[in-house]
Amino acid sequence: MRYGRNDDSGVERRRTLLLHSTGGLRRRGGGLYSRGNRRGCRPGRYGGAVAETGGELAARAPEWELCLEELDREELERFGGILDQRPTRLRGRTVGMVLAERLLLVRTREGRPAPLKANAAQRAFERRRGERNIVLKARQMGLTTWAAARFFLKTITQPGTLTLEVAHTREAAEEIFRIVHRFLDWLPEELRDGPLRTSRANVRQIVFPEMDSQYRVVSAGDRNAGRGLTVQNLHCSELARWPGEPAETLAGLRAALAPGAELILESTPDGVGGCFHEEWQKAPETGMARHFFPWWMERRYRAKAVDEASLTEEERELIGRHRLDLEQIGYRRLIRANFRGLARQEYAEDEENCFLASGDSVFELAAIEGRLAETLEPAERRRNGELEVWLPPLNGKNYLVAVDPAGGGSEGDYSAAQVLEMETGLQCAEFAGHVGGLELARLVTALAAEYNDAWLVVERNNHGSGVLAHVETNCGYRRIYRQGGQAGWLTTSVSRPAVLGRLGAGLVEEPERFQSRRLLGECRSFVRLPNGGTGARAGTHDDRVMAMAIGLGARAELLEGRRKS
């Protein structure tokens, strides 16, 4: 894909920047110099900047109008050293905020190029920004664009910088790259042909050889994202909607961060549970700066004013607490009518309820959270962590291995297996991985054999029938659970809610049965869906949940049959 410059705007191609000559602008021998003395640029209209020279603070330094099209590499590097400074005369703005406004262009919702002037949410982010940040926001607040702009400026002003943007889908990655490429395309030609000349500007990668810097945009579905890299700036966009195992992907990306690197995790909420929710919850412990931006911080979110006499008690409370006006209440009514149950998620109003909006949890969240606080690490991990073991088999004990098969591809659902002790229902081991067919059959039969020739319960829906055939014919395993004389467990519209109910009761009444944090995480994001069914919230999995539910259901039937006999 080619990202070309669009010249239909009438935007001036030669731009200037009014900025303090702070500590980044010095003579080679020390002290401040006037750009006007070098290239005919005039002193700026704001006097009295503050500059740091030789470790001392120099007040009332003159301010200069800098001709950006004449900047060379040395001067770009000086800007890179002062991006986060807040000279007094910039009225609380950082040098980077002013540089973004004067140097970078974005395309407005009306399709016109315009300077990137920070909005309310972006200004609030800059005030509280730290080295590591997590951003919870309503939709379309401009934070993705702002993160891209900040990291673009750092990339072009700080040599040796590698910036990595990770989007939740390929389409989103393409859109972010278009934003970044627009920043590049609208730079003055003198910069693009000089210190910011590119050697590559395609395949979602921009390389600046003279600065020894590069900007990359990838999707979270790329398993090799960040591998082998040393990253100075990392922006993870819409983390709540990353596919696969987002926690594992994020851990790999964090391992690529250089010391002192800047990190931004950003997303709209997508229900309780999942990687983003966990990162938000534990941010105070991990030292990440939390940023929450409700929908009313966006000035465009307004509609026809409502009649004050029609205000509900909840609306009056919002007006009093957050100083909303009647046009904002009108917009709130509009989005609630259009989005219904998802309004709290897409247009977040508080940090807690917005996570609950994508569906009500099927299981008792308080019980899950309580058990999560008590779980221990597994005694053993195998197959690169796919198989976790808490309790090894004991002589004289009877066990059950319940299996929820999947197709085995590298994408989509996992095949999952749960090992339960028959008498107590205690979870002993858990497997989840992208395997299927004969490989899965061999894995679960070996696991069942290890646990004293355990009962093997394989769901026979869909892929399960093939797995069962391999278990019986290729693996020769004989202790197979049967229903009505047929091998395997059949999940139906009747049996599914029954076994899920049994799991829910167990979480409340005997939470100590459950050892796996991953299972409990899936329970937390297992919700009632808008279509009336139940299942994993978008972007999460329920394979471990279903394997455990099947195991508990089959255990109950086996125990009942033993009592009758």
Average the pLDDT over each of 396-400, 506-510, 548-552, 560-564 and give the range with the smallest value: 560-564
Q: Is the pLDDT of residue 88 over 50?
A: yes
The pair of three-digit structure tokens given for residue 93, joined into one six-digit string: 């703005």
Give the pLDDT band of residue 245 (cuts 50, 70, 90).
Answer: confident
Q: Is the pLDDT of residue 553 over 80?
A: yes
Cα-trace Rg, the chain: 29
- Residue 15: predicted pLDDT: 44
What whole-number distance in Å separates Cα of residue 227 and Cα of residue 214?
16
- Residue 430: predicted pLDDT: 98
Average the pLDDT over each of 236-240, 353-357, 478-482 and give the range with the smallest value: 353-357
- Residue 409: predicted pLDDT: 60
Angle (deg, nearest 10), helices 464-473 and 437-450:
60
Strand partners, 402: 418, 457
- Report the predicted TM-score, pTM, of the whole model to 2 decimal places: 0.64
- Of residues 347 and 23, the one with the higher pLDDT is 347
Give the pLDDT band of residue 64 (cuts 50, 70, 90).
Answer: very low
Q: Is the pLDDT of residue 113 over 70?
A: yes
Give the pLDDT band of residue 39 (cuts 50, 70, 90).
Answer: very low
Query: What is the chain's mean pLDDT, rounded?
Result: 84
Give the pLDDT band of residue 62 (cuts 50, 70, 90).
Answer: very low
- How does pLDDT run across 190-203, given as a tens digit for each residue? 888 889 999 866 67
Share of the chain above pLDDT 90, in %: 56
What is the rounded average pLDDT of the residues 118-144?
A: 94
CB atoms within 10 A of CB 449: 16
What is the rounded average pLDDT of the residues 259-266?
A: 96
What is the rounded average pLDDT of the residues 235-256?
A: 90
- Residue 6: predicted pLDDT: 45
Average the pLDDT over each of 4-13, 360-369, 405-414 and give the range with the smallest value: 4-13
- Residue 202: predicted pLDDT: 65
Q: Is the pLDDT of residue 136 over 60?
A: yes
- Of residues 426 and 76, the one with the higher pLDDT is 426
- How does pLDDT run across 430-450, given as a tens digit for each residue? 999 999 899 999 999 999 999
Average the pLDDT over each of 179-183, 198-202, 288-292, 544-548 and give the range with the smallest value: 198-202
| Maximum mean pLDDT: which of 68-77, 107-116, 340-349 | 107-116
What whole-number distance in Å separates Cα of residue 287 and Cα of residue 411?
33
- How does pLDDT run across 388-438, given as a tens digit for each residue? 999 999 999 999 999 999 866 655 688 999 999 999 999 999 999 999 899
What whole-number distance in Å separates Cα of residue 174 and Cα of residue 251?
23
What is the rounded average pLDDT of the residues 351-366?
A: 74
Tell me which DSSP letter residue 60 carries. E
Asked if 485 and 462 count as a contact pair (C-beta separation under 8 A), the reply is no
Give the pLDDT band of residue 246 (cuts 50, 70, 90).
Answer: confident
Q: Is the pLDDT of residue 81 over 50?
A: yes
What is the rounded average pLDDT of the residues 212-223?
A: 90
Asked if 500 and 362 count as a contact pair (C-beta separation under 8 A), the reply is yes
- How does pLDDT run across 289-298, given as a tens digit for each residue? 999 999 999 9
What whole-number distance in Å separates Cα of residue 393 and Cα of residue 454?
10
- How does pLDDT run across 323-347, given as a tens digit for each residue? 999 999 999 999 888 876 677 778 8
- Residue 516: predicted pLDDT: 96
Helices (H), 230-325: 246-255, 274-281, 283-286, 313-322
Angle (deg, nearest 10), helices 95-103 and 120-128:
150
Phi-psi region at 380: left, alpha or beta (left = phi > 0; alpha = psi -120 to 50): beta
- How does pLDDT run across 463-516, given as a tens digit for each residue? 899 999 999 999 999 999 999 889 999 999 999 999 999 999 999 999 999 999
Residue 185: closest CA among 10, 7, 319: 7
Q: Is the pLDDT of residue 368 over 60?
A: yes
Q: Is the pLDDT of residue 61 over 50?
A: no
Give the pLDDT band of residue 352 (cuts 50, 70, 90).
Answer: confident
- Residue 70: predicted pLDDT: 61
- Residue 356: predicted pLDDT: 62
Tell me which DSSP letter residue 459 carries. B
